[in-house]
Amino acid sequence: MKDFYRNKEITFPYVIIVSLIIALAEFLILFASSIGLNQLITYNFQNEFYFSGGLSHLYSNFTILIISLILILAFIMILVVSSSLILSKKRDIAIMKSLGTIPRRLYSFYLTEVYIVFFIGFFIGLIVGLVAFGVFSLFMSSLGLSGFFYFDFFFTPILFLSGILGIFFVPGTIIRKLANRSAVKIFSKDIPFDLDASKRISVIPKWISAMGFNFKISVLNTLRRKGEYKRFLIVFSIISVIIFTLGLGTFVLSQSAQNWVHKAQGNNLIVIGNENLIEQYALMYEMFSDPSIIVNTDAFNFLDPQYLFNLSDIEEFAHIPEISKIDERLLTFSDASELNGIIYLEEGGYQTVGQERSGNFPILGVNTSNLIQNFELDGSYFTPSDSFMYMLIGDGLGYNFFDSPFDQSMRIEELQHTFHVAGIVIDTFYSGYAAYIDSEIMREELNFTSHEINLVILQLQSGVNDEIEDQLNLIISGNLGENFSMLPLTSTFQKNQDFINNLGLFPNIIIVVLSVISLFSLYNYQKSGITDKAKDFLIMRAIGSGYKSIKRILFLEMFYVIIPSLFFSLGIGMILNALVLFDRVTLPPLSVPFILIGILIGLFLLFSYLSIFSLMKKIKKFSIKDFEIY
């Protein structure tokens, strides 16, 4: 503890770096868990179907990917900080070694100090992450995104234990090697004691050195400090991979999700039916984005005769020019059973799939030729010729009710009919837990003979105005009765659209937070090594180098770290997104990832340039007294 405080100019920046990266990792873990994007924990939502379909799986996989990368970054940063701390102690180790301290005592002493830095930084970061997320939860609520405060007992212990083990094996190994060296070799600090300055440099450093004096000195400094350069390169590569992967993935996923939700809902829609029924219908769409909403199907009979009407009762709608499409539907709820299927294996034989699940879900009779929604579809629509055999299901059913949907069937108990799955649609209705069958087949199985329906969806060419509202109300009251009404679905659909927009907003906030913390960590990391470079700067000043030259050299040294790491992130980030997202989402133009990487290059280079001004103030304070330690 005395040594920790005595060298606080060096140790405190390392504690700050550990604290910041732990705080960021904890914040992201809590964020992902609180909005239901962590598949590793169980949620007690009132709406058990809430956000559990295809979109949820994409967002969950993407979130787990980002959490994993953050944990890797935190782990690597802990190892880098710990290793750098040990290397900054080489002078002290050499003195203790020359005074006769045995290697095992050196090992235990400095490993304990590294653990002190880690424990202090970890618990400070944990508290900061919890407090930051508590404040952020209030912001989440103001945006209407439901969530809860969750204490993580999975990723946080993994990070803590991996940090303990990583320090034991990596910095611990460095200490053991140093403790067994002679004092003279230990004094070499980050520059290897066996460095051969006369050795020819490779092609690329040689080409860069030929560009001028400052380039030559910066290349030589980088080659002399290979260990420091490699640590910087690893850290920045991981940081840039995370930022690039998160930025590109968020852009692609948000654009695709918004498009899919829009296709599942449509524009300028009005639902017409019994007042009680259309209210329930609208709530079934809101279930997609609100975990507190659940439709109680036991207390509501959708096929009650008072809710039914005939297709002929709405013929007048076809004569209104503002109506571009009429979609008649027959909605009910039914118990349903999963039937096992058989998959024939390429190597021969077969496999039975299915777990004989059961549940109560909405069944909609539709006419696919009049269907307003243009669903994102995997498979195909059923046709009049095969509608007796096939149905469409929402992605909620597809992901959670079947093992292999296209190889299985579902029996609808209300109709006493079994249907095979023709297609799976990304749907917001009832969180994607709805099945769509042909309305004629549905009426036949229900023994309806007069083209009965209980809902009509109208698509208007533009929004509802007073004139069209009066016309519709006149037809509804005259043909259907006073208990029937209309309900615009625009506000309901907008809630779902806002929910998707909010999911895209939070990763963008995390990108900003990660960038700020990473840049701040970089500054502290640079600052912690400035003292070790004091001799180099004083020598350069003594032989006539100006401060502008030193600034350029410092900038170029960071340039050699930033550029390779960012181009490395371009390739790795695109591969990671391809593995998690690109098999389904809509790909952006090829220019998008290059624009993003250009923004990151500009951001990091700008910060590196600005941070030099602060560092130069410290450099200008160096004097010959700084040589007293040598």
Domains of the chain: which residue ranges?
A: 1-189, 203-255+492-630, 269-460
Report the C-alpha dihedral over residues 591, 595, 597, 600, rounded to 10 degrees: -170
How would residue 146 be classed by pLDDT, with cut points 50, 70 and 90? low
What is the percent of the chain where pLDDT is above 70? Answer: 85
**Mean pLDDT lowest among 61-70, 204-213, 587-596:** 204-213
- Res. 412: pLDDT tops 90: yes
- Res. 37: pLDDT tops 70: no
- Res. 427: pLDDT tops 50: yes
Among candidate residues 231, 228, 219, 218, the one with its CA nearest the CA of residue 189? 228
Write down the pLDDT at residue 285. 92
Q: What is the pTM of this model?
A: 0.77
- Res. 120: pLDDT tops 60: yes
Write down the pLDDT at residue 41. 46
**Mean pLDDT lowest among 179-193, 261-275, 316-330:** 179-193
pLDDT average, residue stretch 600-620: 76
As a whole number, the mean pLDDT across the chain is 81
- Res. 556: pLDDT tops 90: no
- Res. 629: pLDDT tops 50: no
**Mean pLDDT lowest among 83-97, 388-402, 579-593:** 579-593
- Res. 624: pLDDT tops 60: no
Q: Which two tokens stand for residue 518?
A: 């990473």
Whole-angstrom Cα distance, residue 485 to residue 277? Answer: 10
Give the number of C-alpha atoms closer than 13 A to the C-alpha of residue 315, restricted to the C-beta side.
Answer: 4
Write down the pLDDT at residue 127. 93
Residue type, 351: Q
The secondary structure element, H or E, covering residue 392 is strand 390-394
Write down the pLDDT at residue 462. 77
Whole-angstrom Cα distance, residue 330 to residue 273? Answer: 11
User: Taking the CB of residue 308, how many other CB atoms lie within 10 A of it?
Assistant: 17
Whole-angstrom Cα distance, residue 150 to residue 469? Answer: 47
How would residue 389 be classed by pLDDT, with cut points 50, 70 and 90? very high
Looking at the chain, the number of H-run helices and the number of E-run strands are 18, 14
Write down the pLDDT at residue 534. 61
Please enumerate in sequence order all residues whose Cβ is within 8 A of that of 571, keeping only pairs 6 or more positions apart, or say none: none
Write down the pLDDT at residue 51. 80
- Res. 197: pLDDT tops 70: no
Whole-angstrom Cα distance, residue 518 to residue 559? Answer: 16
Write down the pLDDT at residue 163. 92
Residue type, 142: S
6-to-84, 95, 511 alpha-carbon distances in Å: 17, 16, 36
User: Taking the CB of residue 482, how many other CB atoms lie within 10 A of it?
Assistant: 8
Q: Which residue has the higher pLDDT, 422 or 106?
A: 422
Coil, strand or helix at 353: strand
- Res. 444: pLDDT tops 80: yes
- Res. 518: pLDDT tops 80: no
∠ CA 424-579-70, nearest 5°, is: 120
Quick one: the chain helix, strand, coil %, rounded to 5? 60, 15, 25
Q: What is the DSSP string of 140-172?
A: HHHTT--------SSHHHHHHHHHHHHHHHHHH
pLDDT average, residue stretch 238-262: 84
554-to-224, 401, 536, 601, 615 alpha-carbon distances in Å: 14, 59, 12, 17, 10
Write down the pLDDT at residue 10. 72
Whole-angstrom Cα distance, residue 303 to residue 301? Answer: 5
- Res. 382: pLDDT tops 80: yes
Q: Which two tokens stand for residue 416?
A: 């006493």
Q: Which residue has the higher pLDDT, 572 or 232?
A: 572
Please write the tens of the pLDDT for every residue from 474-508.
888 888 888 899 999 988 999 888 888 877 776 77
Asked whether 487 and 578 are in contact (CB, 8 A), the reply is no
- Res. 352: pLDDT tops 80: yes
pLDDT average, residue stretch 190-194: 58
Write down the pLDDT at residue 125. 93
